[in-house]
Amino acid sequence: MKVISRRSVGALLATALGTFLVAVGLTQTPVAAQGAADQKMEQAFKNIKSLNGQSAELLLPTMVYFEAALGVGCPYCHDNDAAKRELDTKPTKQVARRMIEMVNAVNKNTFGGAPRVTCFTCHSGRPEPIGMPNVIGQALPPALGEDYYDNLPAAPAVPTGMSAGQLLDKYIAAVGGEAAVQKAPSLMAAGTVTQRRIGRPFPAQQVEISSKAPGMELIVTKAGQADNLVAYGPAALWAKAGNGAARNLRKAEGDATRLEDAFNLPAQIKQLLMEPKVERPEIVLGRELYVVSGRTPNLPRVKLYFEKESGMLRRLTYYTESSFGQYPTQIDYTDVRDVSGRKVPFTWVISQTRNREFTWAMQNVRAAAVEDAKFARPAAAAASQ
Ligand code: HEC
Ligand code: HEC
């Protein structure tokens, strides 16, 4: 919101009332008195550039519709002097003209002239449309209008005096530091993954995770007859579903697999996260957390949420690029326990699009020797390529 009205609700109401008088009564010829043929907008009003050709009767309902569709008042686009609606003093009025032209063009070119796309289609009662698809647990900004936003407490400031690198170091130290990883570089875990979707139950599946620092992982999910496998390591980045052939992961999928590796994340986050930056703290599940953002070679945006006191990672969100915008995947870590001096999460929840939520719950995580060969892509499938 670039234009902020500082008026009280009462003043806004008074303005709106005054405007009605100005628009339909005082400065213009009343349209009702025009007889059979309505005046056109450009005949009845002073500075019409986009609504030309339409009946002047529609001007005020159109302005009220703009208010409803964007959740704003008249002065969001118009000069604060309610008697001078013709002035182009605010950039939002120019933006609104471009929007009118866009909506007209879309309906003409794509919907055969039927008014299928409206301001509300994108704006949903908010001055700035929500461009990003939602995943479970993300609160949408409410569509309550500019008065509501103007009276919100100020967002917490970006913390000064601490760098992204320091927050990452604090996290790495909190989970035991490099020394703990060197003492127990490889882990074996067994547990379940359970998908939840509103209104649709799924059975838990058994999973086995083999992990080796700083960046090797094999996940075996028991899925009926044949297992589903996903693995990455210095020489391998592959997945195999059931009896199908192994395939290479796409580049973005590979980065996502690394970020989703709950055990090796501390050992490789500093290498993975490019251009790390401290952001405004955010409230997650009722607590204010430090936020570090950045990107990976193949994912446009990653956000890490750290506990203020302990430095522990509570949430990681990464965004995947598509031809039409980005969508998020969110990982929440809970139930962190000690395994041979390393603090590792036993439970984490991955929220994805379509409101799918996958709970990974480990019953058992232990230090154990794991051969590098375990992470290699299955030879038969590799030969068949
Ligand atoms: C989202 C932006 C927006 C909001 C909100 C808005 N308007 Fe407008 N208004 C415009 C634009 C754009 C035009 C010029 C349209 C054109 O060029 O065809 C306009 C034109 C007008 C005009 C014609 C002025 C003239 O003589 O040229 C009046 C009167 C008017 N608006 C009144 C209102 C009132 C009253 C409200 C609140 C109920 C309101 N507007 C809310 C964008 C807005
Ligand atoms: C296809 C989606 C879409 C439709 C339909 C649409 N808008 Fe928008 N509008 C946007 C987007 C996206 C932005 C933000 C642009 C940006 O941030 O640069 C925006 C921004 C605006 C802004 C500027 C808000 C600000 O605070 O900077 C105004 C005013 C606006 N739209 C008015 C309208 C009006 C009036 C209509 C209907 C005639 C309309 N829009 C229809 C997508 C749309």
- Residue with CA closest to ligand 1 atom 10: 93
- Please state, rounded to an integer, the average pLDDT across all residues of the chain: 88
Whether residue 111 is found in the same domain as residue 187: no
Name 231's bridge partners.
218, 238
- CA of 51, nearest ligand number: 1
Q: Which of 117, 150, 183 is the last residue of a domain?
A: 150
Ligand 1 center–CA 96 separation, angstroms = 9
Residue 18 predicted with pLDDT over 90: no
| Residue 374 counted as domain residue | yes
Half-sphere CA count of 265, side-chain side, radius 13 A: 23
Q: Which of 70, 76, 85 to mutate to test the pocket of ligand 1 (most atoms within 8 A of CB)?
A: 85
Residue 377 predicted with pLDDT over 50: yes
Task: Count Cβ atoms below 10 Å from residue 170 Cβ, excluding itself.
Answer: 16
Residue 24 predicted with pLDDT over 50: no
What pLDDT is attached to residue 136? 62
Ligand 2 center–CA 21 separation, angstroms = 28
Pairwise CA distance, residues 47 & 87, whole Å: 8
DSSP symbol at 232? E
- Residue with CA closest to ligand 1 atom 35: 19
**Burial letters 343-366, b for 16+ CB under 10 A, else e:** bbbbbbbbbbeeebbbbbbbeebe
CATH code: domain of residue 344: 2.50.20.10
The two structure tokens encoding residue 73: 């008042």
- Residue with CA closest to ligand 2 atom 38: 100
CATH code: domain of residue 60: 1.10.468
Which range has the worst mean pLDDT, 125-134, 230-239, 329-338? 125-134
Q: Which of 150, 177, 201 is the last residue of a domain?
A: 150
| Residue 3 counted as domain residue | no
Q: What is the mean pLDDT of residues 41-63?
A: 96
| pLDDT band, residue 380 (cuts 50/70/90) | low
Whether residue 15 is found in the same domain as residue 76: yes
- Residue with CA closest to ligand 1 atom 36: 74
Q: Which of 118, 150, 182 is the last residue of a domain?
A: 150
Residue 149 predicted with pLDDT over 80: no
Phi and psi based region of residue 355 (left: phi greater than 0; alpha: psi -120 to 50; beta: remaining) = left
Q: If you search the block for the tokens 């939840």, which residue do you land on?
A: 196
- Structural domain total, the chain: 2
- CA of 93, nearest ligand number: 1
Ligand 2 center–CA 294 separation, angstroms = 28
- Residue with CA closest to ligand 1 atom 7: 63
pTM above 0.85, yes or no: no
Tell me the per-residue pLDDT of 167-221, one tens digit each, with 9 for 90 and over: 999 999 999 999 999 999 999 999 999 998 877 889 999 999 999 999 999 999 9
Q: Which domain does 353 fall in, by range?
A: 164-383
